[in-house]
Each structure stands twice: as C-alpha cells, then as structure tokens.
C-alpha cells in the first residue's frame, strides 16, 4: 500500500472543506472555512468567486502546514463543488460579477422566452421537449435555477456582462481554472446548460440544435473533458504558495452530486445511496440513459466514464433541522441557552429516540421551499399536521425526522421502478447519516437495509479523491467498495411496518389536499424555487 494522497477540495454552498485523502479513501485531515451568501430581491443568490478562492487557499495552506503528509506524496489535486452555478469570466479569467449560485431563481422569467410554443406539455413546447429529452435526457427547469437560466437572465437583464463574457463556467470549473489557468468543463458539470448530446456517456458533445434552442453562443462555453481526465498541471505560483510539487496534476473533477455517487461506495449498477444534507437525494448508477418525466428525474452522464447516474433531488432535508434549531429551539433572541449543547444534533437524536414510532400521529411535511422530486412543485409548503394538546416536543422532533424519511419513501418507488428492481441495500451519506436514530427510521420507513457509511460528511471529497486515484491508476473502479467503511447496518423492524405504512398514506393524502391551497397562497411569492441559507 503506497502512502500517496490527494488534495481534495469540496466547495459547498457554506464554504470549502479541504481534505487530504489517501488514494485508498482514508481521510487524514481537513479544514473548513465559511463563505457568505448574498441574497437579493426576486430570488437572487450570489457568492463572491474571489471569496471562494481565498477560502480554498487559506484552508489548503492551513491543512498542508500541519505536516500530516510529505508534499512529495501528494500526487494530485481534485475538486468537487456545489453545482448549477454560473461564473462570468473575461478572457484573462477575471470574474465580471459575483457568481450566480444554484439557489438563484431570477432566471425563471427569462427561461420562459425559450419555452414559447403553441402545443405545450407541462409548460414545455412539444417539439423542443422531445428534442431535449432525446439528446440530453432532461429539459431546462422552469424554476430558473439551472445554469442555462442564469445565463439567459444575464443576457436579458445584464447585457453588458453577457457581451463581455469570454466563458461561463460552473463553480467547479472556475476553481480548476484558478488552479491550472485552463478553461474547461466536464461531461457532468456542463449538463445543466442543456446544450449537450448525452446519448453516449463516453463522448458528450455540444449540439448545434440545442445551442440554437437555448439561444447561447458556443464560443461562450468551455471545451469538454471527462471527469477523470488530467486537466493540466498545477500552476507554478500556486504550487509554490502551497508547497506542492511543480507539475502536480489537477483532475477534471465533478460537481457534488456525482462525486457523492462515487464517494458513497455505491458504484456498481443498481446499488443505491441516500444523501441527507441541506437537501437530499436517492440515487444509483444504471447502464442506460432514460428520463422519468412524471417524477422529474432521469439518468445522466456519471463522472465514471461510460456510465449513467440517476439524478434526483428533494429540496429540504437537513435544512428542516437547522431551520427548527435556529428559529425555534435556539433562536438568537431567546434566553434558552441553558439547553444549548456543543452538538445540538446529538441532543435532538436523544429526544427523538424517546418518542414513539409514528410520533403519536403528528406528521411533518418537509416542503419548506417547494419540492423537486417526485413532484416539481415550487408552491407547496411544509406543515405540522394533526397536532393536539397531548403532543410534546419529542413528538414534533420525531415527526420532522420521520417526515423527511416519508419524503424519501415517496421517491423510492419511482426510482426502483425506473431501475426495474428494488434496492438490496442503500448506503447512507451526508450529515444526516451521522444520526443512528435517523438511520433506523430510514430503514423502517423505506423497508430497506440501510448501511451507515463511516465519516459520511467526507463522501463528496472522498469521491473526488477516488476519481483522481483511478485517473492515476492507483485503484480501479472495482476496488472502491472495499475502501468504504461501514459504521453500522440497520434492518427494518417489522413491528413498525403497520404504523409507518398508515402514516405514510396520510402523508401522501396531505400533499393531495394541500397542493391547490399552497399554489393559490404562494403563486406571487418571489423566488419560490430558491432555497434560503
């Protein structure tokens, strides 16, 4: 076993987590730094690209200064970041404005301009929808949160920025530019521009018809490489600042959702992984390109060459817990500090474990800012349903944990139908996977075996490291599962099946009865499809 390491950068919305990870997936150290989000009227959400870069350099220098490994043994840099963002750059690589990030929905009106047509299906002109589906496997979101919508918004509302832009880059590709000086995107990071032919996952290319439909010039978009390609060597001045070897290779890399698909260890076809962080998703690799229009998901090019990955997303998951914590349990204006603990989520776990299965029939729906899968509904909102004087804090907290699990179960059936088979087990990652009680709830509600991955918050960074390790031939794809450590496995408790099936049925009924009312009440709300921090 060679002692070689990857400098893995995981730039999330809240900031970069920079880690040193062995070519076999062992995390030896990490550093994190916050990066602020700028929220603007009308659904705007931006971040400062220079702030990203400064935080990445700061965390990298701090981590490397610890001397955990020899610089000679750091064999690559690999980046994964938040997805569906847009950085407008001039020819010298200078950003022309703040980055528009995935939360930004200002492009919702702009994208309507390319969705005009006489015969429409779910808001899409039939001919264009068929073309998008055939070539890309999906279509631009009407929420305005895709990269394409960002660019169209700039073209319509900031024409001077659009004119001056040499290239529009996704956040991951912008960070790679800073590391190497090269403008490029990967087959997966370019996806949400909806201008590439994805029918051959090993050879994704721009398509002239799609570019014309989108109204974007090809020259404003970067050339394409694969996630496991070596983009180039680390720039000498960056290598000197970090104390790394000149010529250290920088891998093409991948956005956060695809990197989690690798770092979860579920890399064989039909092996599932569940991510619970701010948002959540249920995913698996499959050997085909297909789209489930009815449930708003499909399979798209994976960072693993020639493979497809199911991409789903549910808008609010762990965000429901932080919202509850910050607005009710420990609001900064309230004198409740006597209950405050260094890790409030461990306290929540203990409280939830005391409550009965089914939360005494309290139901929480986690749609704090709409939903994406299995319904694309920007207007639906969260609720605590069936509260009575007999309920207490434990019931409410458990209902939140269970409600997020019910939401996942709502997605489970269409995903398994899409694959043509049920999951044998599901690898659980993200911050939510630190919770033992939540792992058992997930197993009971989904009626599937849950494998709780050790150190689940490093799954994205570990995925980035594995891609570099494969690119440099230290490991093969088939090796990855053996390098993923499982903290515990949870089997469904049959005693809880009847209760959870009954409550889940009411969960679905609640959506059906509330969706029209929420549509009436929220149709004028600005930025309804943008998740707040």
**With 60 as the cut, is the pLDDT of residue 340 above it?**
no
The confidence band for 2, taking pLDDT boundaries of 50, 70 and 90, is low
Domain ranges of the chain: 5-253, 279-460+471-522
First to last CA, the chain: 42
The confidence band for 465, taking pLDDT boundaries of 50, 70 and 90, is very high
pLDDT tens profile 270-293: 999 999 988 899 999 999 999 998
**With 80 as the cut, is the pLDDT of residue 527 above it?**
no
**Contacts (Cβ under 8 Å, ≥6 apart) of 367:** 315, 316, 377, 380, 381, 382
**Contacts (Cβ under 8 Å, ≥6 apart) of 108:** 43, 142, 143, 144, 149, 529
pLDDT tens profile 356-387: 999 999 999 999 978 889 998 888 999 999 99
Nearest CA among 343, 355, 346, 263 for reference residue 309 = 263
pLDDT of residue 352: 94
Helix axes 393-419, 344-354, angle to 10 degrees: 90
Once rounded to an integer, what is the mean pLDDT over residues 223-228? 98
* Cα 427 from chain centre: 16
The confidence band for 346, taking pLDDT boundaries of 50, 70 and 90, is confident
The confidence band for 328, taking pLDDT boundaries of 50, 70 and 90, is confident
pLDDT tens profile 384-443: 999 999 999 999 999 999 999 999 999 999 999 999 999 999 999 999 999 999 999 999
**With 70 as the cut, is the pLDDT of residue 333 above it?**
no
Once rounded to an integer, what is the mean pLDDT over residues 29-41? 94
The confidence band for 337, taking pLDDT boundaries of 50, 70 and 90, is very low
Once rounded to an integer, what is the mean pLDDT over residues 69-84? 96
**With 50 as the cut, is the pLDDT of residue 532 above it?**
no
The confidence band for 294, taking pLDDT boundaries of 50, 70 and 90, is confident
**With 70 as the cut, is the pLDDT of residue 96 above it?**
yes
Could you tell me the two tokens for 442? 């997930």
- The CATH superfamily label for domain 5-253 reads ATPase, nucleotide binding domain (3.30.420.40)
pLDDT of residue 526: 44
Percentage of residues in the chain having pLDDT higher than 70: 95
Once rounded to an integer, what is the mean pLDDT over residues 458-471? 98
Name the residue with tokens 């701090």: 62
The confidence band for 85, taking pLDDT boundaries of 50, 70 and 90, is very high
Query: What average pLDDT does the chain have?
Result: 93
pLDDT of residue 525: 55
Percentage of residues in the chain having pLDDT higher than 90: 84
Burial readout 293-327 (b: 16 or more C-beta within 10 A, e: otherwise)? eebbbbbbbbbbbebbbbbbbbbbbbbbbebbeee
pLDDT of residue 325: 84
pLDDT of residue 324: 87
**With 70 as the cut, is the pLDDT of residue 524 above it?**
no
pLDDT of residue 530: 39
Q: CATH for 279-460+471-522, among 3.30.420.40, 3.40.50.880, 3.90.1170.40, 3.40.50.300? A: 3.30.420.40
**With 80 as the cut, is the pLDDT of residue 334 above it?**
no
State whether residue 341 is helix, strand or coil: coil
Same fold for the pair 5-253 and 279-460+471-522:
yes
Q: Return the minimum-mean-pLDDT range out of 72-76, 142-146, 240-244.
A: 142-146
């Amino acid at each position: 076993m060679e002692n070689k390491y990857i400098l893995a950068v995981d730039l999330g919305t809240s900031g970069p987590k920079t880690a040193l990870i062995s070519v076999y997936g062992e995390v030896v150290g990490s550093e994190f730094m916050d990066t602020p989000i700028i929220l603007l009227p009308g659904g705007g959400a931006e971040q400062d690209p220079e702030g990203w870069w400064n935080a990445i350099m700061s965390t990298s220098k701090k981590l490397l200064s610890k001397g955990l490994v020899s610089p000679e043994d750091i064999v690559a840099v690999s980046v994964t970041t938040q997805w569906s963002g847009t950085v407008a750059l001039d020819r010298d690589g200078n950003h022309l404005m703040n980055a528009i990030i995935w939360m930004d929905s200002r492009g919702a009106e702009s994208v309507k301009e390319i969705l005009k047509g006489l015969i429409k299906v779910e808001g899409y002109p039939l001919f264009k929808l068929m073309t998008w589906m055939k070539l890309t496997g999906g279509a631009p979101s009407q929420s305005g949160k895709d990269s394409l919508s960002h660019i169209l918004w700039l073209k319509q509302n900031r024409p001077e920025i659009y004119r001056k832009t040499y290239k529009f880059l996704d956040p991951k590709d912008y960070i790679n530019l800073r590391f190497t000086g090269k403008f490029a995107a990967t087959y997966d990071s370019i996806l949400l521009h909806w201008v590439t032919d994805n029918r051959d996952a090993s050879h994704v290319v721009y398509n002239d018809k799609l570019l014309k439909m989108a109204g974007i010039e090809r020259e404003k978009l970067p050339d394409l490489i694969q996630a496991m390609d070596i983009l180039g060597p680390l720039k000498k001045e960056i290598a000197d600042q970090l104390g790394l070897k000149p010529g250290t290779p920088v891998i093409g890399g991948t956005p956060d959702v695809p990197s989690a698909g690798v770092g979860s260890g579920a890399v064989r076809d039909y092996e599932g992984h569940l991510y619970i962080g701010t948002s959540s998703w249920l995913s698996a690799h499959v050997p085909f390109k297909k789209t489930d229009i009815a449930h708003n998901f499909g399979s798209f090019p994976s960072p693993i060459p020639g493979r497809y990955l199911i991409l789903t997303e549910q808008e609010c998951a762990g965000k429901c817990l932080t919202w509850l914590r910050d607005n009710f349990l420990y609001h900064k204006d309230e004198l409740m500090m006597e209950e405050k603990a260094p890790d409030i989520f461990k306290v929540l776990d203990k409280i939830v474990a005391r409550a009965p299965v089914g939360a005494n029939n309290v139901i929480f729906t986690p749609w704090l800012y709409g939903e994406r899968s299995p319904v694309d509904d920007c207007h639906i909102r969260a609720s605590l349903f069936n509260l009575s004087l007999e309920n207490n804090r434990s019931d409410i907290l458990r209902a939140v944990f269970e409600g997020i699990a019910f939401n996942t179960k709502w997605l489970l059936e269409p995903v398994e139908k899409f694959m043509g088979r049920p999951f044998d087990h599901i690898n659980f990652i993200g911050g939510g996977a630190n919770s033992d009680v939540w792992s058992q709830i997930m197993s009971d509600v989904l009626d599937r075996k849950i494998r709780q991955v050790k150190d689940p918050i490093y799954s994205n960074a570990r995925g980035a490291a594995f891609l570099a390790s494969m690119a440099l031939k230290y490991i093969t794809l088939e090796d990855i599962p053996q390098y993923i450590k499982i903290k515990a496995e949870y089997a469904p408790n049959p005693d809880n099946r009847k209760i959870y099936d009954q409550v889940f049925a009411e969960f679905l009924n609640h959506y059906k009865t509330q969706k029209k009312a929420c549509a009436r009440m929220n149709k004028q709300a600005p930025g309804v499809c943008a998740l707040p921090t």
